[in-house]
Amino acid sequence: MNNLNNMTVARQAQQGMTTIGLLLVLGIIALIALTAIRVIPIYMENFTIKSVLDSVKDDSKVDPKSKAAIWNSLKKRLYINEVRLIKREHVEITRGNGETTVTITYESRRPYLGPLFIGGSFSESVVIDR
């Protein structure tokens, strides 16, 4: 009979998650969702910049020997794709051995939570060998 009382007490003690535990789990899920919402656009923007660089590389109308022509082509494509954070100082164009290397180095920041920011530092480049 004593064993039956112990089982009854054990069942009553295991009634599930408390309200504080539930709030803690919901808070963690909300923080993970907020992080994803803030980080995904940063990487989508980086993907767009990679696509722009590849399109400049594949465009036969762009003279790879002219830094101005490369920059103007980049600027137009970035504007069309609504990437406004890339400025001329982020782009480095070097020429050597019959190849032109175009490198974009930049940082992207987004507000995260209160005074905190989330962001990343990126460097993308292509080699034009025409």
Query: Which tens digit of pLDDT belongs to each residue from 76-91?
Result: 999 999 999 999 999 9
- The strand ranges marked E within 56-115 are 91-96, 99-113
Residue 36 tokens, joined: 């994803």
Residue 52 confidence class, pLDDT cut points 50, 70, 90:
very high
pLDDT at 130: 77
H-type helices in 14-102, by residue range? 19-58, 67-80
Q: Within 13 A of 117's CA, how many CA atoms are on the CB side?
A: 7
Separation between Cα atoms, residue 3 and residue 130, nearest integer Å: 86
Mean pLDDT in the chain?
91
